Structure 1
Amino acid sequence: MSGAFYKSVEAKVSSATSRSFPIVNRTSLHGGCINKAERLESDDRSYFMKRNNESFLIHFEEEQVALDELSGAGAIRVPRPICSGIADNQSYLVLEFISLGQPTETSWELLGQQLAQLHHSVLPNFGWHRDNTVGTTKQINNVSDDWISFFRNRRLLHQMDLAQKNGFKLKNGPQLLESLSSFFDGYSPSPSRLHGDLWSGNVGFDTSGAPFVFDPCCYYGDRETDLALSEFFGGFHPKFYAAYNEAYPLDQGYVKRKILYNLYHCLNHFNLFGSPYDSRSQLMTNQLLKFV
């Protein structure tokens, strides 16, 4: 990147923090498969910055708002957003830099307890006041007082339609959508404050072992969706689930619904990355219909 880009970031950070921030060192970091990431350092502090092309600014602004939403619950730590903007045809987001450490079993227990506390924070309706993205796929959050219709229309149907446009038609998809209510017999979820993309790659632990989460696609929905995704890709210690369940016990129907909730993410992964998520989505659908 050009010197003009970093000068613009220096000025924006300095203005946002009311302290001069002359960059004296930059270190490239792993930023995932979407963004480029760097550690920016001055003589007395450092920040984490990720950047992308100019059109990506809306995603960074969404992330800022979602981090503030999670932080507002006072339950679990997130990197503090500093600023975002555009410079030299690049968009960027600057966050608090948190040095990484190694988790202990106690660290995982604390994460489970804090997630349960986050999920106790509720609103009257499902959804959120704005749409956002899961990966780079639009996530529709128009509010609703009916979780089943919300998940059917804003989540599964949306991903099924995108998948069909991308060349994959889910067999028996309409049958599954018509049968959703059977997965909620005797269970009425509350609109909990959610991370929305809780896989192990979006969880970290600082040098003291304390947990934090990042890259949210926040909305208000069934708390089981966060737990389900944490299981889908693995990487969470059993102590995490034990601590969560002790603090906020899960309904016995979760063992079936977690497959339903992860179908949303599996379809999204097909829409982002293609095979083998099409065949995996079909297997999950077939499994779900056996419960009906």
Structure 2
Amino acid sequence: MSLPATLRSQIEAILGDPIRKVELLAQSFGSRLDRLYTSQGRFALKWASRPLPLAMAAEAHGLRTLAQAGVLAIPEVLAVVDPAPADGYAFLLTNWLDGGNVRVDMAVLGEQLAQLHRISAPAYGFDHDNYIGGNPQYNTWMQEWPHFFVERRLRPQMELAAQQGYLPTTRRHKLDRLLARVEDLLAGVERQPALLHGDLWGGNVIPVDPQGRPGLIDPAVYFGDREAELAFTELFGGFGPVFYQAYQRTWPLPPGYAERRDLYNLYHLLNHLNLFGAGYAFQVDQIIQRYAG
């Protein structure tokens, strides 16, 4: 695969080195991810001519925020251009993190994620909106977590589902009942805003050295309840007992987490419903039925 000539020239000027090879890794939500090879090493380039609005800039800011925390290995942002010039491309250029063909040390990941979650803020949210997959994620600050979870997480996905025809009358009515109960369902928990990766599934965790030290990529950063992050790690297969034991040793979760876990995952399942279609409707309905009362 090759890069457009104008983009190649831009990247080579930034790196000060010719690109020897371009390897396509993925394409999603209008953007393409390439691995670049130069005499200096390898780099990751995400680019698009018509990307989601300010998606590259939002991802770059999320990466820098996680890197500033100084806990986990995070790709270094070398350059970001967003929005795209009229005759060019939006792009995000980072160094390439790769520990080779080794397993991530899940105990270290558990410990370090708990340390990351210790980084707090005065409220829930973030200083800009970003994306969760290909859908907007709204992060305007709010003081109370249950209100934030309803107004910034569940309700926008619910409205998008309605626009796309995924919210028949019965599902809508049950979701309305559930939203009215969220404050009670999440009550009685001692919590604080925690710095979250925001999209923490297995594909966004990589080894960065031969010892399997963990690194994180593709964030959807915000300050939220750490239980929401742990819940998502369990949605698609889980990270394994070593990870959860290490996290709990480092910073135990409040009692009752298991009862709240599926409620938090409703956000991601609604997002998957909106992104990928009705195949996720059954899981959505199961959770709604459980919590709507």
Task: Establish whether TM, by shorter chain, passes 0.5.
Answer: yes
Structure 1 residue 32 displacement after superposition: 5.5
* CA distance in structure 2 between the partners assigned to 1:54 and 1:156 by the alignment: 28
| Deviations, residues 215-263 of structure 1 (Å, cap 9, x unaligned) | 0110001001111111001251211111001101011221121111100
Matches within 5 A, 1:93-242: 93-104=92-103, 107-169=105-167, 170=171, 171-208=173-210, 209-242=212-245
1:76-105 CA distance string (max 9 Å, x none):
111111112247543221111112434557
Q: Which amino acid aligns with 2:281?
A: D
Letter aligned with residue 93 of structure 1:
L
Which runs of structure 2 are paired with 1:224-263 in the superposition (5 Å)? 224-263=227-266
Report the CA distance between 1:66 and its aligned residue: 0.3
When residues 248 and 134 of structure 1 are mapped into structure 2, their CA distance, relative to the original with a 3 A threshold, is same
Which SS does the other structure have where 1:37 is aligned? Answer: strand
Q: Is the 8 A contact 2:114 2:247 kept in 1?
A: yes
Give the match for residue 283 of structure 2. 280
The corresponding residue for 1:37 is: 33
Q: Which residue of 1 aligns with 2:19?
A: 23
* CA deviation string 1:104-134 (max 9, x = no partner): 57x1000000000000000110001111110
Q: C-alpha displacement at 1:289, in angstroms? A: 3.2
Deviates more, 1:234-243 or 1:52-61: 52-61
Could you say if the C-alpha distance between residues 103 and 231 of structure 1 is closer, same or farther in structure 2, counting changes exceeding 3 Å?
A: farther
Query: Which residue of structure 1 aligns with residue 43 of structure 2?
Result: 47
SS in 2 for 1:117: helix
Q: How far off is 1:46 after superposition?
A: 2.2
Q: Partner amino acid for 2:226?
A: R
Q: What secondary structure is seen at the aligned counterpart in 2 of 1:187?
A: coil
* Cα separation, partners in 2 of 1:48 and 1:205, compared to 1, 3 Å: same
Q: Considering only aligned residues, what root-mean-square deviation do their CA atoms show, in Å?
A: 1.8
Q: Could you tell me how far 1:274 is from its partner in structure 2?
A: 0.8
SS in structure 2 at match of 1:27: strand
What is the TM-score with the length of structure 2 in the denominator? 0.91
Matching residue's letter, 2:244: Y
CA distance in 2, matches of 1:101, 1:47: 15
Q: Tell me, in whole angstroms, the C-alpha distance in 1 between the residues paired with 2:21 and 2:184.
A: 57
- Letter aligned with residue 68 of structure 1: R
Query: C-alpha distance in 1, partners of 2:206/2:26?
Result: 14
Gap regions ≥5 residues in structure 1: 15-19
Instruction: Give the % identical residues.
Output: 34
Compare 48-57 and 261-270 and name the one that shifted more: 48-57
Answer whether contact 2:22 2:35 (CA < 8 A) is retained.
Answer: yes
Counterparts in 2 of 1:193 and 1:55: CA distance versus 1, 3 Å: same
Do the aligned residues in 1 keep the contact of 2:49 with 2:88 (CA within 8 Å)? yes
**How far, CA to CA, are the matches of 2:253 and 2:208 in structure 1?**
28
- Corresponding residue for 2:60? 64
